[in-house]
Amino acid sequence: MDIQIGIKLEGLFLKEPERATAIFEEEFRKGLEESVALTHREVDKRTPRGLTGNLAQATGREVMGVGLNLYGIIWNPLSYARRVERGTPYTPNFIALAEWVRLKLGLGGKHIFAVTKVIQTTIRLGGQKVARWMFKEGFEASKPQVQVILEKAAARVVERWK
């Protein structure tokens, strides 16, 4: 998923491009860091915690680039993050699911295997039908505020240029 917000600073870079680029990079890096942190919080609010909270803990953020080419990213490296986001079918890890059965249902011994196999098969056949849309909804929720943050960054660039 990608959000692109354009800010126009026409004519500002024509007179002294090196100075203008340095001012732009400094102010927009601040704005992007604030925007990415805000969006990350919105994504985190929508991320299911499950038994371990690993999905939420694995979500990362970073601002990268130099000069006029700055961008912020929010990502989750876990293999199942996309499936949670989009609700696509999959077969959950048996050992992790058995641990969940043990902790949440309080089962042990021979019952763990049978119950875990039934739950795993049910998930595999039915999939996760409800998507969580943690990234999509998190991005959408933060978009108006991000626009304001970046417009303020543009205003600071213009003010510093004077």
Please report, for the chain, the start and end positions of each structural domain, with discontinuous segments joined by +: 1-88+130-162, 89-127
Backbone torsions φ then ψ of 117, nearest 5 degrees: -65, -40
Sign of CA dihedral 27, 33, 34, 38: positive
Per-residue pLDDT for the chain (162 aa), expressed as one digit of tens each?
Answer: 555 656 666 666 677 888 888 999 999 999 999 999 999 999 999 998 877 889 999 999 999 999 888 999 999 999 888 888 887 777 788 988 899 899 989 988 888 999 999 988 888 787 655 567 899 999 999 999 999 999 999 899 989 877
Phi (first) and psi of residue 51, to 5 degrees: -80, -40
pLDDT, position 68: 84
Q: Is 53 left (phi over 0), alpha (psi -120 to 50) or beta?
A: left
Question: Between helices 17-46 and 134-161, what is the axis angle to 10°?
Answer: 150
Task: Find the helix or strand (DSSP H, E) in which 63 lies.
Answer: strand 60-66
Closest CA to 82 of 55, 60, 100: 55
